[in-house]
């Protein structure tokens, strides 16, 4: 049934409303579910993979899954392969990683499959406090670097101090071989991020002046 959350909210509020009831077979229902999910959320690539895998396990054909995700069968096959090759609990711990697209996940799965002990390495990374408290995109990056054999590669960044203001963690500082990065947490308003970006040149000038003394 679609709209069950809205129905529960309406009952809680005591609100009356009109509804449309339709008889659907299982295939029609799963297609509409996929469409509704896509319209309500901007699903990340790995979330789409997990959805496709769950529908196949439920017995739906690739054609039906393709319709529900509005994509081709070859893409659905790749999504299901990725979701099947990687442990579900690991994917859940990494999270949606909305900034990580198809190509990076394909590379991730390739590194996982070619690694001698991927599960041991990944669990070690995800067990670190710095990784657990980082955002989902940073967790993906940490695990990806570890699977790349850069021994604690981005893990150098994971244990670095957080930048905190009035008890709120604003961002993570990461120091790796490829350079240093600042990753803002989701709770930080985009306006503040833009403000910091505008101040970078001024801050750099201050730093250069201080070091020139």
pLDDT digits (tens, 9 = 90+) for 172-187: 666 555 566 677 666 6
Residue of higher predicted confidence among 24 and 135: 135
The answer as to whether 124 is a domain residue is: no
Tell me what percent of the residues of the chain surpass a pLDDT of 90: 36
Structural domain contains residue 79: yes
Give the range of the structural domain holding residue 58, as residue numbers without chain letter.
1-85
Q: Is residue 137 part of a domain?
A: no
Residue 185 lies in a domain: no
Per-residue confidence band for 168, with pLDDT thresholds at 50, 70 and 90: low
DSSP characters over 147-198: HTT-TTTTHHHHTSPEEEETTEEEEEEEEETTEEEEEE-TTS-HHHHHHHHH
How many domains does the chain fold into?
A: 1
Q: Identify the pLDDT of residue 163.
A: 60
Query: In this predicted structure, what is the pLDDT of residue 192?
Result: 77
Report the pLDDT averaged over residues 184-195. Answer: 73
Q: Is residue 94 part of a domain?
A: no
Q: Is residue 30 part of a domain?
A: yes
Is residue 203 included in any domain, yes or no? no
Q: What is the pLDDT of residues 71-99, one digit of tens each?
A: 888 999 999 999 999 999 999 999 999 99
Q: Does residue 7 lie within any of the structural domains?
A: yes
């Amino acid at each position: 049934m679609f709209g069950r959350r809205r129905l529960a909210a309406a009952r809680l509020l005591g609100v009356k409303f009109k509804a449309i009831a339709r008889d659907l077979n299982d295939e029609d229902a799963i297609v509409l579910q996929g469409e509704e999910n896509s319209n309500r959320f901007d699903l990340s690539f790995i979330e789409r993979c997990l959805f496709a895998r769950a529908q196949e396990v439920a017995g739906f054909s690739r054609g039906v899954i393709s319709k529900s995700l509005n994509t081709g069968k070859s893409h659905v096959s790749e999504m299901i392969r990725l979701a099947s090759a990687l442990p579900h609990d690991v994917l859940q711990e990494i999270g949606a990683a909305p900034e990580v697209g198809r190509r990076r996940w394909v590379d991730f799965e390739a590194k996982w499959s070619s690694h001698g002990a991927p599960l041991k390495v990944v669990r070690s990374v995800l067990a670190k406090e710095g990784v657990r408290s980082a955002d989902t995109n940073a967790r993906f990056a940490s695990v990806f670097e570890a699977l790349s054999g850069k021994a604690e590669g981005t893990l150098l960044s994971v244990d670095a101090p957080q930048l905190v203001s009035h008890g709120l963690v604003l961002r993570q500082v990461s120091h790796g071989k490829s350079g240093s990065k600042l990753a803002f947490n989701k709770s930080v308003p985009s306006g503040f991020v833009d403000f910091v970006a505008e101040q970078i040149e001024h801050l750099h000038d201050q730093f250069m002046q201080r070091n020139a003394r």
